[in-house]
Amino acid sequence: MSGYLRIRWTITPGTAPQPLINCNRCGTLKAYRCSGKFRVNANGKRIDVWLIYCCMDCDNSWNFGIMERCNRRDIDPARLAALERNDPGLARRHAFDVVALRRQAGRVEEFPDVAVRKEVLEGNRESAAVLELRLGLEMSTSLRLDRLISSELAMPRSRLQGLEERRLLIVDPQGAKAMRKPVRQGTAVRIDLAGEDDRQAIIWAAGG
């Protein structure tokens, strides 16, 4: 469509969530980091799997339960092999499962640091007046949408708020206060820059 620049942002969180555990060595509540290693325990045909976490201060361990008393026949052989060899990708996926972490640990600290890969899908940077960002997440993140856009486009959040109030910035799906909520998979952000003096600078920042 004439005047549009569509760009996909693929967002990769940096630091995995850290459960807060009562460390029996330190004697107080401590943050635990993911070791990237699984513990696989086989008792006959039954398999138990944990992802091992370590205290940030004393290295005391805590086990995050992944499987409990599972029948070996019910586990995909490739998945079991990945667990046994401490597959980094599989460990990372479980480490970013903040819902499961909260269920077992209670309190979990999340981090907003991300890397953003940018890919132009359609349009021309030189002639574009409307920017459309399509967001994809490799893992969930606590980073707010307004903070992401402000950082990547070098635009103050107050300016983004002003654009939103004038309906020059639209989030799809909208929802209440969508800009102030964490980035979500599949979100699209449309920004009409036709009247902005620094339109070209914003356009180039959007595309990397």
Residue 87: φ, ψ to 5°? -55, 120
So what's the pLDDT on residue 1? 43
So what's the pLDDT on residue 126? 86
pTM of the full structure: 0.81
Cα 84 to its chain centre, rounded Å, is 26
Cα 180 to its chain centre, rounded Å, is 15
| Enclosing H/E stretch for 64 | strand 61-71
In this prediction, the residues of the chain whose per-residue pLDDT falls under 70 are 1-2, 175-176, 208
Q: Which two tokens stand for residue 181?
A: 């909520």
User: Which residue matches tokens 């026949």?
Assistant: 73
Is residue 43 within 8 Å of residue 50, measured between CB atoms? no
Q: Which two tokens stand for residue 68?
A: 């409990």
So what's the pLDDT on residue 53? 98
CA pair distance 68, 82, nearest whole angstrom: 17
**29-40 per-position pLDDT tens digit:** 999 999 999 999
So what's the pLDDT on residue 2? 53
> What ranges do the domains of the chain cover?
4-14+112-206, 18-109
In one-letter notation, the amino acid at residue 131 is L
So what's the pLDDT on residue 97? 93
Q: Which two tokens stand for residue 206?
A: 């959007």
C-alpha dihedral over 104, 105, 110, 115, to 10 degrees? -50
In one-letter notation, the amino acid at residue 189 is V
**172-208 per-position pLDDT tens digit:** 987 668 999 999 999 999 999 999 999 999 999 998 6
**73-85 per-position pLDDT tens digit:** 999 999 999 999 9
Other residues' Cβ atoms within 10 Å of the Cβ of residue 65: 12
